[in-house]
Structure 1
Amino acid sequence: MGDCGCDKAKAELEEYLHQELCSEDAADIRAHLDGCTDCAEEHTVGVQLTMALKQACAETAPEQLKDQVLARLRAVQATHS
């Protein structure tokens, strides 16, 4: 295990963020991030983006908005049938 270099770290960053790497590869990426400011900053952006997406996907639309969208879809479907 050791520093894997920027190319590998950046290529595998998405998998690292989602904990999809084997433990050895994850340890290599972590070691690299600990010593590389550029890759560590890219990792931080990835973490923040992932968290924002998870939060956005957890939110639900208000019932009134859902009703309006469904009514509009039905109206469009009725004119195109």
Structure 2
Amino acid sequence: MTDCGCEKAKAELEEYLHREVSDADFLDISEHLAGCDDCSTEHLIGLKLTEKVRTACQEKAPEELRASVLSRLGELQS
């Protein structure tokens, strides 16, 4: 593989974090991150933000609200 460079690594960082790049691009960006402190720092920040968003989005609606919404959906589908 060849080093893809900072421009590509930064442009595709979000997709890389979510594994939405091709296998070849994933390997190229991984190789670049291993040798570039600047991009590696951005990658670590992206990982932390992604994890925070993931955990913050695990809230659940109160059971009463959930039941009300499901009931209304059932009425609309009838």
Q: Cα offset for 1:59?
A: 2.4
After superposition, what is the alpha-carbon deviation per residue over 1:6-54, rounded to whole angstroms, capped at 9, x for unaligned?
0000000000000000100000000000000000000000000000000
Task: Give the corresponding residue for 1:44.
Answer: 44
User: How far apart in 2 are the matches of 1:60 and 1:51?
Assistant: 18
Q: Determine if the alignment matches structure 1 residue 9 to structure 2 residue 9.
A: yes
Task: Give the corresponding residue for 1:56.
Answer: 56
Task: Give the corresponding residue for 1:79.
Answer: none
Task: Give the corresponding residue for 1:72.
Answer: none
- Unaligned 5+ residue runs, structure 1? 68-81
- Unaligned 5+ residue runs, structure 2? 66-78
Considering only CA atoms, is the larger Rg found in Structure 1 or Structure 2?
1
Q: Cα offset for 1:2?
A: 1.7
TM-score relative to the length of structure 2: 0.76
Q: State the 4+ residue runs in structure 1 displaced beyond 2 angstroms.
A: none
After superposition, what is the alpha-carbon deviation per residue over 1:51-76, rounded to whole angstroms, capped at 9, x for unaligned?
00000000236x4xx88xxxxxxxxx
Report the residue type matching 1:25 in the other structure: D
* Backbone CA RMSD of aligned residues: 1.5
TM-score relative to the length of structure 1: 0.73
